[in-house]
Amino acid sequence: MKKITLTTAILLALLAATGCSADDKKDAGSSSTEQSSSVTTESSSAAAADITIADGSSTDSAPAEGTVYMRQLLTAPHGTKSFAVTNVTMNGDKILAVQLDEFQYVSPDDFTGVPNSDGAFGENYPTDTVLSSKRENDKAYSEMMADKGGASQGWSDSMDAIAAFAVGKTVSDLEDTVKELDGLGEDDSPADVVTGATFSDTSGYLQAIIDAATKGMISTGIKTSTEDLKEAQVLGAPHGDKSFSVTTVALDGDKLAAASLDEFQYVDPAAFGGVPNSDADFGADVQDGLVLSSKEANNDAYSDLMADKGGASQGWSDSMNAIAEFALGKTVSELEATVKELDGLGEDDSPADVVTGATFSDTSGYLQAIIDAMKAAK
């Protein structure tokens, strides 16, 4: 199968750089401190009002108790300069694990960008910035928090404390905690309610977890009664240099129990909804008027693009779900053997001959992303 080309005539027509100033983008993390509240400011982008948001919300019903599953939602728990990928692993109504990472444009002098920042994907960044993961740049971001807001501990320390607090609880339990946090006095600390969480926006992060657990996109896993799952969330580039991926996995022993993978790409806002805060500061000054978009949250639009430009025979999520379903219950070594088989296919062979239902030419790349996350979870 020929590799799908995702460049559209619309995108090619948008090649003139905006050259907007990004001075305040370099200090974007200055509001992300323990003491500060979420920043609410008007976006400097004149087109921001025309941008819609696609966060991956779903009305699908969760599997019955006894089957582990993930729910993932794109959220904005802290201000207008970043967005988060919030992933919650559940069995029944109980939360088993939480993975949350935030992404923000910051100075490339101090931060490492997401995969493909040095490729075509990075060409769309606001001038003199790089899109960065707070978790992968924990040291640099924590130093910024301390410098700008006097934070007493790192970003991941507070985030891990919030995630740990949510484990074992239900949505109702967390809703009660948010009410308690929102009722705190000016001199009280969120850590009085959620041990180890010093974020002023602790309730915002918990609300993101609640929202993901109630309306996030569902990835059904295996049937299991164990609650002792090992998890990891990693960034990758399984398909070309115009996007990056976020892959989350849960392991039951050495076997894959659940997996969720989404990709993010700059596209035309006339056809695609952007990630949260694309209509605010985060979306301001992106090159050529494009918008950062989730393929999962824009499955219909992205699938139409695949069909139009590459002759794709089925939707993005259909192939992605087939890959994830194939990987469930397998070990790293079993999946590595499949990748070798895929990489050895002839020009006239189809990946679907190996992974039923997966028509991506880059099926091996998506499986490798899952493998990499599984290795990180061990």
pLDDT in tens, 139-166: 999 999 999 888 889 999 999 999 999 9
Q: CA angle 307-287-363, nearest 5°? A: 35
DSSP calls for 305-319: HHHHHH--SS-HHHH
What mean pLDDT do residues 282-307 have? 95
pLDDT of residue 11: 36
Q: Is the pLDDT of residue 47 over 50?
A: no
Given this model, what pLDDT does residue 295 score? 98
Strands lying side by side in the sheet with 255-267: 230-236, 243-252, 255-267, 291-294
pLDDT in tens, 201-225: 999 999 999 999 999 999 999 999 9
Which residues have CB under 8 Å from 337's CB, separation 6+? none
| CA 45 to chain centroid | 23
Question: What is the rounded CA–CA span in Å between residue 369 and residue 363?
Answer: 10
DSSP-assigned letter for residue 112 = P
* pLDDT cut 70: percent of the chain above it: 87
Q: What is the mean pLDDT of residues 349-378?
A: 96
- The pTM of this model reads 0.87
How far apart CA 144 and CA 82 sit, in angstroms, is 15
Between 107 and 34, name the one with better pLDDT: 107
For residue 128, pLDDT beyond 80: yes
Spatial separation of the C-alpha atoms in residues 220 and 321, rounded to whole Å: 9
Give the number of C-alpha atoms closer than 13 A to the C-alpha of residue 158, restricted to the C-beta side. Answer: 29
Instruction: Give the type of residue at 171.
Output: V
- Token pair, residue 97, equals 């694990």
Question: Can you name the residues that pair with 53 across neighbouring β-strands?
Answer: 274
* Band of pLDDT at residue 313, cut at 50, 70 and 90: confident
Pick the residue with more confidence: 26 or 345?
Answer: 345
Report the pLDDT value the prediction gives residue 310, as an integer from 0 to 100.
Answer: 82
